[in-house]
């Protein structure tokens, strides 16, 4: 009597770093995140208006609060669809320890590659302008606004955006299969699509000529997530890049001040997200 055929192995079982939620959850989470974020932002602005802020030109505090709830709306959408009727964990998003050498190597290579390509792109197209978000958050208006904006730009946004894009979207899109010459290029397709979405989400805050570099950053961060099987190097790079942009382009800080901002942001990020990986095994 012959043995029964083996049961098919799912992607998440064959590749432990591929999460259990399918690709269709990406557009669903984007729609839900946009809806929740829009409603939450309007509510924040209405509360601010009741306290004296202008609806057409919100105060820095209202703008910062609105941006935070908007980002957290996408986090909520990602968590909802990730855990909807399936067994998932925060480790599936990448909240797991990374091998130190691999993480450092991926971080350094990503920095070199991203800034080299961005520098060439900037030289060719003569980029001008800067991110509108920090000025809208009032970084030059008061110390309180600067601190609030720095926390949002260098801590909250990197955590939320990496969880959504590299943790949720990239993971889901890795279920897509594309084979060329016998090689599965699904990871590269997922990285490209995630990078495009990451660039487009900054359409309202960055000049349009910067969307391609931002999309490339999103692509590079996906590769870091893939090679390290961890979200932490991605958050660290995202945070450092935002701190560098804020310190150089908006504040004109010197190297020591920018390094202090990066290290301070990393410490806060570690305090917030470090406990999420306590029970997660390291994959590589």
DSSP conformational letter for 68: H
Q: Are 59 and 53 in contact (CB under 8 A)?
A: yes
pLDDT at 284: 76
pLDDT at 4: 54
Distance (Å, whole) CA 199 – CA 208: 10
What pTM, to 2 d.p., does this model score?
A: 0.90
pLDDT at 134: 62
Residue 111's nearest CA partner among 26, 24, 202, 217 is 217
Q: Name residues of the chain where pLDDT drops below 70.
A: 1-15, 128-140
Q: Which residues in 61-199 belong to E strands, given as ranges?
A: 179-180, 183-184
212-to-195, 217, 233, 237 alpha-carbon distances in Å: 9, 9, 22, 18
Residue 262's nearest CA partner among 245, 247, 243 is 243
Dihedral pair phi/psi, residue 31, rounded to 5°: -65, -45
Residue 241's nearest CA partner among 273, 268, 214, 205 is 214
pLDDT at 99: 93
CB atoms within 10 A of CB 258: 18
Residue 195's nearest CA partner among 114, 78, 124 is 114
pLDDT at 72: 97
Burial 185-216 (b: 16+ CB within 10 A, else e): ebbbebbbbbbebbbebbeeebeeebbbbbbb
Distance (Å, whole) CA 96 – CA 149: 28
């Amino acid at each position: 009597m012959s043995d029964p055929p083996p049961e098919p192995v799912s992607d998440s079982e064959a590749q432990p770093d591929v999460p259990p939620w399918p690709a269709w959850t990406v557009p669903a989470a984007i729609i839900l995140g946009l809806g929740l974020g829009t409603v939450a932002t309007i509510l924040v602005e209405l509360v601010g208006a009741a306290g004296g802020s202008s609806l057409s030109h919100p105060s820095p505090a209202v703008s910062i609060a609105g941006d935070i709830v908007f980002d957290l709306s996408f986090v909520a959408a990602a968590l909802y669809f990730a855990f909807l009727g399936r067994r998932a964990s925060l480790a599936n998003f990448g909240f797991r320890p990374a091998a130190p050498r691999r993480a450092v190597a991926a971080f350094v290579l990503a920095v070199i590659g991203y800034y080299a390509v961005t520098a060439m792109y900037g030289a060719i197209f003569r980029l001008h302008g800067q991110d509108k978000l920090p000025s809208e958050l009032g970084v030059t208006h008061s110390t309180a606004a600067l601190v609030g904006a720095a926390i949002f730009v260098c801590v909250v946004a990197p955590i939320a955006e990496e969880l959504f894009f590299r943790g949720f979207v990239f993971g889901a899109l890795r279920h897509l299969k594309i084979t060329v010459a016998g090689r599965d290029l699904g990871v590269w397709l997922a990285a490209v699509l995630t990078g495009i979405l990451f660039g487009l989400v900054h359409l309202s805050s960055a000049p349009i000529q910067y969307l391609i570099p931002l999309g490339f950053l999103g692509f590079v961060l996906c590769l870091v997530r893939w090679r390290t099987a961890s979200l932490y190097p991605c958050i660290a790079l995202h945070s450092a890049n935002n701190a560098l942009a804020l310190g150089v382009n908006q504040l004109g800080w010197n190297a020591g001040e920018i390094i202090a901002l990066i290290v301070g942001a990393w410490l806060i990020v570690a305090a917030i997200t470090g406990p999420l990986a306590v029970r997660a095994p390291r994959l590589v």
